[in-house]
Structure 1
């Protein structure tokens, strides 16, 4: 696997000099300052490349910006609004501009309104580290009692409704505000930050959009961008829904194996690929990650390696150590290395590490502190080394 590291640019608390010490070769980043829907200019792309390639303190970094995560898909494209054609043209030009600068792998997602959603960005685990987590009763408490979304109650079991009511009553105003901010104030990679009123308005705009309509809009987008990607040797790799089930009544289109089968049947272009996010897909017990990798290996161009520990009682989960969640990381890494053995190189990055040790005293992007990700990288790197030796002996 080609090891990479996500970097949020010069303002990231984890500096390029820090990343040089991890031993990775490639950088995953984006032009976060460019508004969604605007064309990424060549000069801005080259500026970021220079920031990656050269340290003011250490000189050449030997790091390469090879993966864009992400070029966001504008909400108007997801909703199928009249202005989508112009926005898709902009997207196509960004693909061309990135390719002209030598960057040929673009990550994107098709999640409406929100990017990845959690209810706690700093859950303290038994050993004192802090982890991202998703608590279904907390989500229901927000949805039913704070947002007060119409028909929200129909999306939760009676047991979760009862737990949510008790949980809501136990919260102070400060805790309610923190829960609200965690869910809707914008996470790394999210498109917007919302007030309650704004958030409800955004959800309302999706009321007439069914899952089938969202799938049609995804196809409309890809039918126009894939030929452009093919023409410049670029691959697009869709990130799965996170979490991989409906929340707030919003449709989901990339959550299970059947979704991928549909996607590749509709759009067989080899430029149409996957970001296999083990944590996102692993948040459903019915997603078998090694089997997914085995079935769709020829489409996996990038993988996020992290793990989640699922609740036995509901859809809750927290982000565990990389080798200690419900996903068999050994089996998954073995499948990825088998892909490389028979087909093509796969980029990987350690995803969503715990906040731990000295990072507990720092302000970092949720899930993207340095030490926790470095620990995850070391663990996965060790597994990959062992598996590679095993495969060589076969």
Structure 2
């Protein structure tokens, strides 16, 4: 498989030479500076590609070519937005970028309540606290019917937590949640968030699915012609947030998406952390079910609490069996290598997120994307890959998990 690394270009305090030292070969990046809905100019794409290649790396995945909120809401000048999306895909393909990760989450790309939660062995991690999120939705935001989205004991504890919050506590919580807004643009205060949430009023799961199906109908034929593989990222976390519906949260959702437009160009970004935050999701089983449609993988782990909270664990220490998951991906990667008609570099994967460790602390990296923590995760996954490949393909007798 192709070891890759997410890089935010000029917004990133981690340099390409530093990434090169991690051993990763592929770069996962995007033109984060371009406002949503606008065409990605081919010259800008080429400039980014040349910069990556000058560091002896390859632009392996575009993450992400964002879907405008109007497409998700089914409002506004959609024909223009679809045409711009298709043109951006064409410009990426012209520069050799053929895998595009995207998501269909309303408003937020991801949601956490703590960006620097302490880890017992030292360092920090990203965390989602159901109690803090409930305190935010019920008491800070005052969202109608928010109590119904949480267990009664969480609602009670959220009320107690809110009473003890200082103004600084409330600001830190709002800032953490707003960190999940994509790109380098809008960040909302409470009133601004209330206003933008109103634009989704009345949109339930069925309508969001209808809008998603239209998106696929508009862009997948163009992707097929361009040789592009689109791969949707699961919801993070895989549950409704802020009253917004989520439709990429479990095996049933993914099956619906794959069937909504049955094409190899309509694929999946297998994000172990996002899917793993739902206790009902068996991530290796999901990977096995949709193996042929996985075009990109995010490998990270989570440790879940009974109340719906979770934190990002070390890559090999959370609730997801990473060895079983990697075994599924290796098996699919071997199948593709055997059948490849052109140069195939392997299924790209990246160590998704990581703990802030050692010199990461105080460096002010993008939340979830430190240098040392991700390098540690990459090294651990690399070890798993080499062990599984050696035992299963070089004379060993390694047995893959039952059913894979």
Q: TM-score, normalised by structure 1?
A: 0.96
Residue 332 of structure 2: aligned partner: 339
Counterpart pick for 2:298 among 296, 304, 319: 304
Query: C-alpha deviations, 1:44-94, integer Å up to 9, x for none?
Result: 00111122122xxxxxx2201121000110000000013112101100000
**Aligned residue number for residue 213 of structure 1:** 207
User: Comparing 196-205 with 350-359, which one deviates more in the overlay?
Assistant: 196-205
Is 2:20 the counterpart of 1:27?
Answer: no
Q: Equivalents in 1 of 2:122, 2:167: separation in Å? A: 26
1:7-86 equivalent positions in 2, closer than 5 A:
7-54=7-54, 61-86=55-80
Distance, in Å, in 2 between the alignment partners of 1:191 and 1:228 is 28
Task: Supply the distance in 2 between the matched residues of 1:108 and 1:190 (Cα, whole angstroms).
Answer: 16
Q: Kindly tell me: are residues 120 and 190 of structure 1, through their superposed partners in 2, closer, same or farther at Cα, counting changes over 3 Å? A: farther
Please show how residues 313-324 of structure 1 align to structure 2 within 5 Å: 313-324=306-317
Residue of structure 2 equivalent to 1:57: none
Q: CA deviation at 1:346?
A: 1.2
Whole-Å separation in 2 of the counterparts to 1:252 and 1:175: 28
Following superposition, the deviation at residue 381 of structure 1 comes to 0.3
Map of 2:136 onto structure 1: 142
Any stretches of 5+ residues in structure 1 without a counterpart? 55-60
Task: Report the Cα offset of residue 157 of structure 1.
Answer: 1.7
- SS at 2:10's partner residue? coil
Change (3 A) 1:195 1:242: same
Aligned with 1:123: secondary structure? Answer: strand
Q: Which residue of 1 aligns with 2:401?
A: none
Cα deviations across residues 235-294 of structure 1 (Å, max 9, x unaligned)? 100000000011111101100000111112221011000000000000011111111111
Three-state SS of the structure 2 residue aligned to 1:322 is coil
CA distance in 2, matches of 1:264, 1:74: 21
Following the alignment from structure 2 to structure 1, what is the Cα–Cα distance between the partners of residues 371 and 181?
Answer: 17
Over residues 324-371 of structure 1, what are the superposed CA-to-partner deviations in whole Å (9 max), with x where a residue is unaligned?
Answer: 000000000000001112235311000111001011131111110100
- 1:256 pairs, out of 250, 258, 283, with 250
Inter-CA distance 181–11: structure 2 relative to 1 (3 Å threshold): closer
Residue 152 (structure 2) aligned to one of 158, 167, 174: 158
User: Any stretches of 5+ residues in structure 2 without a counterpart?
Assistant: 338-345, 398-404
How many residues align? The count is 387
Residue 322 of structure 2 corresponds to which residue in structure 1? 329
Within a 5 Å distance, the mapping from 1:376-391 to structure 2 comes to 376-391=377-392
Q: Measure, in 2, the Cα distance between the counterparts of 1:323 and 1:63.
A: 26
1:189: Cα distance to partner? 4.3
Is contact 1:185–1:195 with CA below 8 Å preserved after alignment? no
* Whole-angstrom distance in 2 between the partners of 1:128 and 1:321: 12
Which residue in the other structure is 1:58 paired with?
none
RMSD of aligned C-alpha atoms? 1.2
Cα pair 1:6 1:27 within 8 Å, conserved: yes
Q: CA deviation at 1:190?
A: 7.4
- Are positions 1:359 and 2:326 aligned together? no
Matched ranges for 1:103-118 at <5 A = 103-118=97-112
- What corresponds to 2:343 in structure 1? none
Structure 2 SS opposite 1:21: helix
Shift of 1:191: 6.3
Tell me the SS of whatever aligns to 2:290: helix
